[in-house]
Amino acid sequence: MNSITINGKEYTIGEDQLEMSLLNFLRENLIMTGTKNGCEKGVCGSCTVTADNRAVRSCRMSMEKMAGKQIITIEGMEYPDGTLHPIQQGFIDAGAIQCGFCTPGMVMSAYALLLANPEPSREEIRKAMRGNLCRCTGYQQIVDAVELAAKRIKEEHLSVTAGCLA
C-alpha cells in the first residue's frame, strides 16, 4: 500500500488515486484548499508545495510519483498555536499580498529557498521566485518579504521548519 505524509500526517494512497495529481488529492480528498489551481500546466506556481523540502508544482505531480514523500502545504506552515510562520508574516508586513491567490505558492517557494539557503541575496530570491506569477503586487514587495523573513528567522534563531509540523 502506498502512503504519503502531508503536514506531518500520513495518508494512504488508494490504487484509484495513483494517477490523480497531488493538487487534486489535496483539494478534493483532504479539502486543503490553500494550494491553488491556477493553470494545471505547472506554469503559474500557484500550486507550489514542498516535497522532501523542494518546491514542486503539485498540479504536475501524480500521487504515484509522490508516494513516500514528505509534503508541506501552506496549511502546514503556521505554528501549532496558530501563529504565522515568519515567511507568512513577512509577506503581510512587506505588503506582498494583494488578492492572495498566488500567495500560498509564493510562500512555499520562499520556504524551499530558505531551507536550502537561509541567507539568500536579492538576486537569488528573484531567481527562486521567478516561477511564480503574480498579477497584483509587483515583484519588489515579494522579494522584500522573503528578505524580511530570512532576517527575522536568523535574528530570532528560529528554524525555518519550526512551524511546519501542524
Domain residue extents for the chain: 2-76, 86-155
Place of cell 490504487: 15
More confident call, 161 vs 63:
63
> Among the CATH numbers 3.30.70.240, 3.10.20.30, 1.20.210.10, 3.40.50.2300, which is that of 2-76?
3.10.20.30
Ordered strands of the 2-6 beta sheet: 9-13, 2-6, 70-72, 48-51, 54-57
CATH architecture of 86-155: Orthogonal Bundle (1.10)
- Residue 166: the pLDDT is 44
Q: In terms of pTM, does the model score above 0.85?
A: yes
**pLDDT tens digits, one per residue of 34-86:** 999 999 998 999 999 999 999 999 999 999 999 999 999 999 998 889 999 99
What backbone torsions phi and psi does residue 127 show, to the nearest 5 degrees? Answer: -65, -45
Structural contact between residues 49 and 63, judged by C-beta atoms closer than 8 angstroms? no
- Residue 163: the pLDDT is 64
Is the CA virtual torsion 50, 56, 62, 65 positive or negative? negative
Question: At what angle are helices 139-155 and 103-116 packed, to 10 degrees?
Answer: 50
37 burial via Cβ count (<10 Å: 0-12, 13-18, 19+) = middle
Structural contact between residues 138 and 102, judged by C-beta atoms closer than 8 angstroms? no
